[in-house]
Structure formats: structure tokens, C-alpha cells
Amino acid sequence: MRITLALLLAMPLRAADRQRIATLNVGATSIFTFISCAVQRKVHSARDAVRCLAAGTVAGVGFYQAKRLVARGDITSGWLVANASTSIVENTTAGEHPLGRIGYTFGPLRLRVATPLDRARESYVDVDLSAVETGFLVRAINEADDFDIRDGMLWYETNQPGRDEAGRVVHGTTWGIFPGVWRGADEHTWHHEAVHSVQSLQLDSVEPPALTIERERRPMRIRYVRAGALNLTDNLVMAQTRYERRWAEIEAYRLTEDKRPPE
């Protein structure tokens, strides 16, 4: 996670090594999963609390491994692992079996398919819509010269490098789960931006639904609208933070190139 309260403040940010990054992913995902369980009123006993914390721990390990995979170029596998980790969090915070549904995010939509472990058995497929990822998609479209499906994700490309808020030339920019790169960018940039996509999915995973659309039993239904307030807040906070101190950049640079972000 990028917003990690005291956990984040307790470590020298730019000096973060991979062990600290792994610890932060596991700890923060576990805590935020528990908070989401509590908000959705799924914690009624110590056993429920342990269940939520344990599921968050497993998902945190999964998210870290997903980032490691995409950082070394195995983006498809990493994206699948990230989606599986998201499923564990979603199911657990909803009070269901951790593997009751297996979900996959494509664009602003998330498809969640029921497994034999689904206790409710209300539908075969639930479709969720993310409001914040819809907004990020619009922003990506505005910047894109081309859109493509690559590694199971929607990527956009630009004909020219961009510039950040400080006026520095950048070869890649990711909006939510939509990674974007300049056509002339090297492979490290592709991997770096894919890490940002996993980070965004990780943030989306722990946020409770904002609205339930359909409750009836049917084979396929539009189930939830997810606001993405945590993801949006994180982006706004990071925009006010110096580049080299942004956790998203510290993590992405360390995992892809094993170095600190440039100042």
C-alpha cells in the first residue's frame, strides 16, 4: 500500500530495501483488510478478526510477489497474481470464503466468477464498476496516441515523452490501473509503469463498495459500484509530495532497477 499511516513514517523512505517493501505490503494490506471488514460489519468475534488479518496477510504476500513478477518483465503472471490477491481481500471483507469468487479487472470493470466455494450462490458472474478507474481511463484516453491490450491489461502509448509537474521529461505515466509509456521508452519503463498498475489495484481491493446495484439472484448481474476514494486520495496526496519521497516511486524503482528515485 502507498498510504500506510505510521508504518510508512517509521522507516527511512528512500532507503527502503526489498525486505522492507515486502514487510510493508504484508502489514499494510493486513491492516486495511481488517479495517474494511470492520466497516462492512464482518467482525463479530476474535475469530473474525483473525480471519480478516490472516487473509490480508496472504493477500499482501501475493501483491508483493505480483509486483516482483511485473518488475522483472513477467507482467501477465504478475497481473494474474494481483487479481487473485484482490479476490482474497474482496471475498473476505464481504464475509465470504476467501476463494468464493475469482475476479479479474479489465478497464474500469471487474468480473467476479463464482467458484464451488461460494456459499451464497446468488450468481455465476458479478460485474463491478469502479468510478475512480473510469475517471482514470478518461484521463489516459486524453493523453494517449494509441491504446492496446497487452499482458492482459489496457496500455496506452504516446508519440512524445511527457513532463511531470516539475517540468522533467518522463517516459511513462500511469493513471490508476492504466499504464502509459512513450513509444521510445526502454523495457524498465514498461515494467515500472506495470508496478504502478498493481499498486492501484491493491488500493482498490481494500475499499468497501459504495453502492449495491442488484441483489436478486440471476446468472449474471451488475453487483457493485466502487468509488475508489482511497485510490483518488492517494493520488492527490502523492501529487503534493516530492517525487523522490513518493512511496509509489520508491517501491517501483527498487523493484525494477534496484535503486532510489531520482531527485
Report the alpha-carbon distance of residue 30 to residue 70 in Å, rounded. 22
What is the predicted pLDDT for the residue at 17? Answer: 87
- What lies within 8 Å, CB to CB, of 181 at 6+ separation is 155, 157, 158, 171, 172, 189, 190, 193
Model confidence over 85-143: pLDDT tens digits?
A: 999 999 999 999 999 999 999 999 999 999 999 988 899 999 999 999 999 999 999 99
Model confidence over 13-29: pLDDT tens digits?
A: 555 789 999 999 999 99
What is the predicted pLDDT for the residue at 141? Answer: 96
Q: Where are the domains positioned within the chain?
A: 13-257
What is the predicted pLDDT for the residue at 3? Answer: 45
**Residues of the chain where predicted confidence (pLDDT) is lower than 50:** 3-11
> Helix (H, G, I), strand (E, B), or coil: what is residue 213?
coil
In 123-213, where does DSSP find H-type helix? 131-143, 187-205
What is the predicted pLDDT for the residue at 176? Answer: 96
In 40-143, where does DSSP find H-type helix? 46-71, 75-93, 131-143
